[in-house]
Amino acid sequence: MEEELIQIKNSAVSLILDAKDKRELDDLKIRFLGRSGRLTLAIRELSKLPKEKRPEIGRLANEVKNTIEETIFEKESRLTKQRSQKLKEKIDITIPGIKPLIGHLHPLSQVLYNVIDVFKSLGFQTADGPEIETDKYNFGVLNFPKDHPARDTQQTLFLDTHNSKHTPGETILRTHTSTMQGRIMEKIKPPFRVIVPGKVFRYEQTDSSHGFEFWQFEGYAVDKNITFTDLMGTLDYFVRKFFGESTKIKFASHNFPFTEPSLEGYVSCVVCKEKGCNFCKQSGWVEVLGGGMIHPNVLNNVGIDPSRWQGFAFGTGLSRLATLKFQMDDLRLLTNPDLRILNQF
Ligand code: DAH
């Protein structure tokens, strides 16, 4: 018995010292000290010994147990130390970390939120509406007579209405956000101030300053005693808030079927500060909007009495504003998903 205990001790100690990892050590623990482990079984045999031998062998068995437990404990802490040492070698805390990719708003969205903020501060609400439109809201309500040459200015994309119940020529992709004058004014009662940003479509050859789809925003206000100077003051305020206080706006007279009188607005070139550059085609000014007093026919078409209410309206190329603000020399960059471009704005 004595010999057996010594043998158990020796073999346990040498196996424990050789253990390569924690798992192997756990297995050994079970193999020697577990319920049917070698030492446990040997201790159970103690009862079979003659009485006078028991205390001595019992003490030896205890010593063996303690030695095995201590060896396991020591080996365990050595293994833990080795593991953290290895990890330390693997993790070089001096290597610069990997910066997580953080997205940001698309330049068009930045401009859009900017515009909404300025007009919100002037009491304008924001609305949106359908890109697929009817002739009625794109033209009819807006005082474009049928077959009138003014429609030609709006290079319209017509939808194929084959096999549908729509009359040919009735359904189109909206050419301007002015469609939302009729759609909203029909529903709400004056006074109101509204802006409508959105995508519009034109049958147009694309180049650096023209796209077949681009963003606009429409703005209009209807109230009592609204005048042309309210329109000019509002646009002047917007331009200064949007581009910076030193930016100027100038107006030229124009003609739109849905406004009378009408104007066109130009901002001083933010790139060259009116000196003349490629961006403004050497003129120092960039055309950005059209506007005017809402035509009485339009108010009548939406059920608002023009003898009691007046309004102004304007439409701006949001994409144009974005390229100007970010000094992009090509409108198409706004629809290019290349991150090397987008990350610059
Ligand atoms: N809808 C016009 C366009 O896209 C822009 C415009 C001009 C809008 C005058 C207006 C306006 O509301 O009054 O060319």
- Using the mean position of ligand 1's atoms as its centre, give its distance from the Cα of residue 44 in Å: 100
Which residue minimizes the CA distance to atom 6 of ligand 1? 315
| Ligand 1 near 124 CB (within 6 A) | no
Q: List alpha helices for 122-218, DSSP H.
A: 135, 179-185
- Using the mean position of ligand 1's atoms as its centre, give its distance from the Cα of residue 255 in Å: 10
Question: Ligand 1 pocket test: which of 183, 230, 256, 287 has the largest number of ligand atoms within 8 Å of its C-beta?
Answer: 256
Given a cut of 90, whether residue 291 has pLDDT beyond it is yes
For β-strands 285-294 and 259-268, DSSP reports them as antiparallel
- What is the Cα–Cα distance from 44 to 50, expressed in whole angstroms? 14
- pTM (2 d.p.): 0.72
Cα-Cα-Cα-Cα dihedral sign, residues 60, 63, 67, 73: positive
**Residues 6+ away with beta carbon under 8 Å from 106:** 342
| Ligand 1 near 75 CB (within 6 A) | no
| Ligand 1 near 311 CB (within 6 A) | no
In this structure, the number of other CB atoms found within 10 A of the CB of residue 302 comes to 17
> What value does the mean pLDDT take over residues 187-193?
97
- Using the mean position of ligand 1's atoms as its centre, give its distance from the Cα of residue 112 in Å: 18
Under a CB-based contact definition with an 8 Å cutoff, are residues 288 and 320 in contact? yes
- What is the Cα–Cα distance from 60 to 170, expressed in whole angstroms? 104
- Using the mean position of ligand 1's atoms as its centre, give its distance from the Cα of residue 222 in Å: 16
Mean pLDDT is lowest, of 199-203, 205-209, 335-339, for 205-209
Provide the CA 105 distance to its chain's centre, in angstroms: 5
User: What are the sequence ranges of the domains in the chain?
Assistant: 2-90, 107-342
The pair of three-digit structure tokens given for residue 245, joined into one six-digit string: 């206080």
Under a CB-based contact definition with an 8 Å cutoff, are residues 200 and 175 in contact? yes
For the chain, give the mean pLDDT.
Answer: 92
Relative to the CA of 312, which ligand 1 atom is closest? Answer: 13
> What value does the mean pLDDT take over residues 292-311?
98
- What is the Cα–Cα distance from 340 to 345, expressed in whole angstroms? 10
| Ligand 1 near 176 CB (within 6 A) | yes
Residue 209 confidence (pLDDT): 80
Relative to the CA of 220, which ligand 1 atom is closest? Answer: 12
In this structure, the number of other CB atoms found within 10 A of the CB of residue 148 comes to 11
Residue 143 confidence (pLDDT): 96
Given a cut of 90, whether residue 54 has pLDDT beyond it is no
Residue 1 confidence (pLDDT): 79
Which residue minimizes the CA distance to atom 3 of ligand 1? 176
Given a cut of 90, whether residue 167 has pLDDT beyond it is no
The pair of three-digit structure tokens given for residue 176, joined into one six-digit string: 């301007």
Given a cut of 90, whether residue 284 has pLDDT beyond it is yes
- Using the mean position of ligand 1's atoms as its centre, give its distance from the Cα of residue 317 in Å: 9
Confidence of residue 169 (pLDDT cuts 50, 70, 90): confident
Collapsing DSSP to helix, strand or coil, 191 comes out as coil
| Residue pLDDT, tens place only, 138-165 | 999 999 998 888 888 889 999 988 888 8
Which residue minimizes the CA distance to atom 2 of ligand 1? 315
| Ligand 1 near 292 CB (within 6 A) | yes
Residue 299 confidence (pLDDT): 98
Which residue minimizes the CA distance to atom 12 of ligand 1? 314
Q: Pick the closest to residue 291 from 267, 262, 319, 316 (CA basis).
A: 262
Which residue minimizes the CA distance to atom 7 of ligand 1? 290
Given a cut of 90, whether residue 46 has pLDDT beyond it is no
Residue 88 confidence (pLDDT): 82
Under a CB-based contact definition with an 8 Å cutoff, are residues 178 and 313 in contact? yes
Given a cut of 90, whether residue 131 has pLDDT beyond it is yes
Does CATH number 3.30.930.10 belong to domain 107-342?
yes
Given a cut of 90, whether residue 187 has pLDDT beyond it is yes
| Residue pLDDT, tens place only, 238-281 | 999 999 999 999 999 999 999 999 999 999 998 888 998 888 88
Question: Ligand 1 pocket test: which of 234, 260, 314, 319 has the largest number of ligand atoms within 8 Å of its C-beta?
Answer: 314
Facing residues of 218 across strands?
196, 315
| Dihedral angle computed from the Cα positions of residues 190, 193, 199 and 200, in that order, rounded to the nearest 10 degrees | 60
Question: Ligand 1 pocket test: which of 156, 176, 319 has the largest number of ligand atoms within 8 Å of its C-beta?
Answer: 176
Residue 241 confidence (pLDDT): 97
Residue 67 confidence (pLDDT): 93
Which residue minimizes the CA distance to atom 9 of ligand 1? 291
Long-range CB contacts for residues 224-229, cutoff 8 Å, separation at least 24: 224/191, 224/308, 224/309, 224/310, 225/310, 226/293, 226/310, 226/311, 226/312, 227/293, 227/310, 228/261, 228/263, 228/292, 228/293, 228/312
| Ligand 1 near 312 CB (within 6 A) | no
The pair of three-digit structure tokens given for residue 27, joined into one six-digit string: 């297995």
| Ligand 1 near 177 CB (within 6 A) | no
- What is the Cα–Cα distance from 314 to 216, expressed in whole angstroms? 10
Alpha-carbon distances, residue 167 vs 138, 151, 185, 332 (angstroms): 15, 18, 25, 34
